[in-house]
Structure 1
Amino acid sequence: MSEIVDKAVEKLAVKLEGGFDGVAKFVITGEGAIMLDASGVRAGDEEADVTLTASAEVFQGILEGDVNPTTAFMTGKLKVDGSMGLAMKLGAALS
C-alpha cells in the first residue's frame, strides 16, 4: 500500500463522510486503488460500478480542489469506465 493511497483514503473519508450511494473505484496509476461505497472509503481493488483512473498528481489535484474532475475527464487526464452517472455524482460530491 502506498503512502499516496493512504492519504487519499483519509481525505476521501472526510469528503464522503456518509459513504457513497453506489460502488466506485479510484485507480491511482502506479500507486494502487481506493474503493468507495455505502460503508465508506478504503484501500482495495474490487469490482465497481464505475472505475476512475488518473495519475497521482491529477488525483491529488481533484482532492485539493485544484483540478476540476469534469475538466480532467474532458482533457483525457481522468479516464472513466462504467457508469457515467455515478462518475458525475462522485465528481459533484468531491467538489
Structure 2
Amino acid sequence: MSQTLDTLRTRFNPQAASGVQEVFQFHFSDADDHYVVINDGTLDIQQGEHDDPSVSLSMSTETLKGIMNGDVNGMTAFMTGKLKATGNIMLATRLSDMFPSS
C-alpha cells in the first residue's frame, strides 16, 4: 500500500491542482483507509478517515494500482462495481489530471 501512496506523491501535478481545495477519501477492502487532501496545489496523504471528505472512493488496492498504471479504466471500474463513489462523484474524474500516469 505504501508503494501505491508513494506513486500518488510522485505523480502529483501541482499545476493541475491549482485552486483545488478538496479531500478524497479512499476506503480499501484489503488495506487501511487513507485520505488525500489537496489544497491549492499542495498534497497531503494521511491514514484513516476524514471527517468531511469531498468524495469517498471504495475499492481494492489492486483496483487503485490498475487505475494508476493505466491497466484499469476508472469509469469501467465504476460501472462494473469494482469502484464505488459517494459524494461529489464528478470530482473523482479530476484525479487523472492531478495524478497523470505519464
TM-score, scaled to structure 1 = 0.80
The amino acid that maps onto 1:87 is A
- Kept in 2, the 8 Å contact 1:28–1:59? The answer is no
Q: Give the deviation of 1:43 after TM superposition.
A: 2.9
Structure 2 Cα separation of the partners of residues 92 and 68 of structure 1: 14
Q: Equivalent residue of 2:9, what SS?
A: helix
Where structure 2 has 5 or more consecutive residues not aligned to the other structure, the ranges are none
Q: Larger Rg: 1 or 2? A: 2
Provide the C-alpha distance between the structure 2 equivalents of 1:17 and 1:67, rounded to a whole number of angstroms: 20
Return the alpha-carbon distance in structure 2 between the equivalents of residues 33 and 40 of structure 1.
17
- What is residue 87 of structure 1 aligned with on the other side? 92
Q: Offset at 1:93? A: 3.4
Tell me the amino acid that sits aligned with residue 35 of structure 1.
Y
Aligned to 1:25: 25
Q: Give the residue type in structure 1 aligned to 2:10.
A: V
Q: TM-score, normalised by structure 2?
A: 0.75
The equivalences for 1:12-91 within 5 A come to 12-18=8-14, 20=17, 21=20, 22-37=22-37, 38=39, 39-44=42-47, 45-47=49-51, 48-91=53-96
The alignment of Structure 1 onto Structure 2 pairs a total of residues equal to 91
CA distance in 1, matches of 2:81, 2:98: 21
Structure 1 residue 10 and structure 2 residue 13: aligned?
no
Q: Flag the 1:14–1:87 CA change in 2: closer, same or farther, 3 A.
A: same
Moved more, 59-68 or 9-18: 9-18
Structure 1 spans left out of the alignment, 5+ residues: none
Percent of residue pairs identical: 29
